Structure 1
């Protein structure tokens, strides 16, 4: 894998010509190897933005460039060698093994119906080891816990050897331990990452940059300590946010209460 520079220029999306924008014109640049956390209240447009990044829905306006290449002008197979995604949905074909699922990540790199080659097999073993899945390789996916299944989906995405990894709420429905393990795995990867997260404290701890969204608008972009202010968070989430700095770690921590 090798990380890439992501440039989003004037990107917007609406479901039809007569419908209002769900995602309003948005621009930002994410440098190579950085992790971008996309945060905002429910309905802020986070998933809509991410769906354009992993080529699920075509932008209404604007471009998405990875190392200067517009991913929406590429053939799907070529784009899948550059961008990979991990979504909230868990796999539902419980008859497949962990190795079967991870092997699917190599499909964009294979010619026609050819079998995986020696290099593919090595990549598969490497990413399973990185995701701590080697001991589970022959287990059927249906026998795994939610956290283990999410690690499998991460390994499948990494097997694509992408330069950009898009994660849509990857920690949803996971307990705290598995959330932390998954985010630590993301941080250890040599790949540029865009991840949407609900937990602001996790976003501040694991992300290099933060994009805050509100009603489909990009209202702030930059390092967590610059972007995540009490005023902005309170406004974007409709709560009263209090920022505390944990002195030993120098990590910012938010606590919240409902506005009265």
Structure 2
């Protein structure tokens, strides 16, 4: 690490984080697929945090291309539908890799389903080494198993990589007691416990992910991905967000 980078990393709240975003975050105003300017905008947000010396993991959903639960609801066998959703996450990961590398950030896509001509297989020690070398690691294909969401995959990988927090990028600036787009009197929480999220069905992440975070005392920071500089600001102790903790 250069002498210029060292002071920056000491000024942030977390040294290694997991950024979890939905596939829908990549489609911009479109109703489907990838919107390259939106992918590039999110990549610049990641770049701004990477420049602080923070080690970054990412998990991106696949709902902008295919969602396993919806496919299952339409009569498709659930396991097949979930595997299709996992492949969608690989496509999103490759798009984000291309955007990050266009900004000069070395990035590795690491898939739970081996596809060696496209990306690396998941090997924990190798992934940790990439992070130590300041490469962004994008974990794709979920956990490699059906019936598990990318929320659960993000929490699992965050624990395996010894991340200090999960940053959940959404369209709102935290966790509310009800949908703020529908209710003017919706209340935002500054902090909320894992058990409150589960008991009140606050919809931060699915129950398996919340339980896994709780059991490993891994905080979840819910913030708005649409707020320019929001990701970087929170790491510097600024901005609006909700912290889910024990």
- Determine which structure has greater relative contact order: mean sequence separation of CA pairs < 8 Å that are 6+ residues apart, divided by chain length: 1
Q: TM-score, normalised by structure 2?
A: 0.30
Q: TM-score, normalised by structure 1?
A: 0.29
Structure index of larger Rg: 1
